[in-house]
Amino acid sequence: MWSFILKRLAQGVITVWFIATATFFAMHNVPGDPLLNDRAMTAAIRANVEAKYGLDKPLGEQYVIYLGNLVRGDFGISFTQENREVNDIIREHFPVSATLGVLAVLFAAAGGVLWGALTALYRNRLPDYVIMFFVILGISVPSFVIAAVSQLALVGVNAALGVTLLPVAGWGTLWHMLLPALVLGMGTMAYLTRLMRSSMLEVISADYVRTAKAKGLPAARIFTKHQLRNAILPVITVLGPSIAAITTGGFVVELVFAIPGLGRYFVQAVQQLDYTVIMGTTVFYGAFLVFMVIVVDVLYGFIDPRVRMQ
């Protein structure tokens, strides 16, 4: 087990290095210049600034310096927000995005497993049709539409009740988080429901479920011990990429609900060619996702003994 985890971590480090390298060279090949903004800049000032950020050195040397800083965990200083360290930006805003993301993943996973199992048990009957209708809706409608519509609906409900059932936007308490997390997790929940449904249908007709019935076990025990645990395996496999989709997809939802997350810095930085912030957030997100995938793999090992042994 430990050698498995260590191996996956080593692979993860290589993946992050690859992400960092690819981002570095891609970014430096984008037309444009981070120092070209509306402020007056003489050649002398420009040279000074370039020297400050190390932009006057050859690209190869910049890359080596950059990797050295990265290893020490130093992402540098923002180009556009002067004297603000990228580390500070991440430290300040990532927890918000992460909280939202984790909550959304929880919603998606719990909902997906529950609805998926229900549709399989009620296959081709009314609950199946109703749930699958919403699943198709959830997969087809993009999150910014759901975000806006749900916000509008919430405004209506709050107005009708005369009390604030849930805050419509902003950040701070758990009540602020519920709606955005639900909206953020909706697409993934729909996707996981479909996956869980097909996986559950497969398990329902599996030989070992027939064995369990032949043993005379009560239906509830067959469901929890023999069906659910086996049906959930494919769902856990895609949970890693799902976490990726949710955390990176959070930007739009953060914008609609006015949540001070990291996503907005990420997009701003790309627009302004803020090299250090782009590099910092990309590498950080990359590392975070790689880590989450490893966590999921380890989790998978706990549920499926066959993976644990390899």
Return residues touching other proteins (CB under 8 A).
Answer: 205-208, 210-218, 221, 225-226, 229-230, 233, 303-306, 309
The nearest distance, CB 119 to other proteins, in angstroms, is 17
Cα separation, 37 vs 288, in Å, equals: 32
The nearest distance, CB 189 to other proteins, in angstroms, is 24
| Residue among 163 and 220 whose Cβ is closer to other proteins | 220
In Å, the largest CA–CA distance within the chain is: 86
The nearest distance, CB 230 to other proteins, in angstroms, is 6
Cα separation, 24 vs 20, in Å, equals: 6
| Residue among 205 and 271 whose Cβ is closer to other proteins | 205
| Residue among 40 and 220 whose Cβ is closer to other proteins | 220
The nearest distance, CB 214 to other proteins, in angstroms, is 4
Residue whose C-alpha is closest to residue 19's, from 295, 289, 285, 283: 283
| Residue among 172 and 305 whose Cβ is closer to other proteins | 305
Residue whose C-alpha is closest to residue 168's, from 188, 147, 184, 189: 147
| Residue among 91 and 210 whose Cβ is closer to other proteins | 210
The nearest distance, CB 308 to other proteins, in angstroms, is 9
Residue whose C-alpha is closest to residue 304's, from 242, 246, 236: 236
Residue whose C-alpha is closest to residue 280's, from 100, 101, 97, 91: 91
The nearest distance, CB 212 to other proteins, in angstroms, is 7
Cα separation, 84 vs 268, in Å, equals: 15
Rg of the chain, C-alpha, whole Å: 24
| Residue among 174 and 214 whose Cβ is closer to other proteins | 214
Cα of first residue to Cα of last residue in the chain, in angstroms, is 9
Cα separation, 294 vs 208, in Å, equals: 30
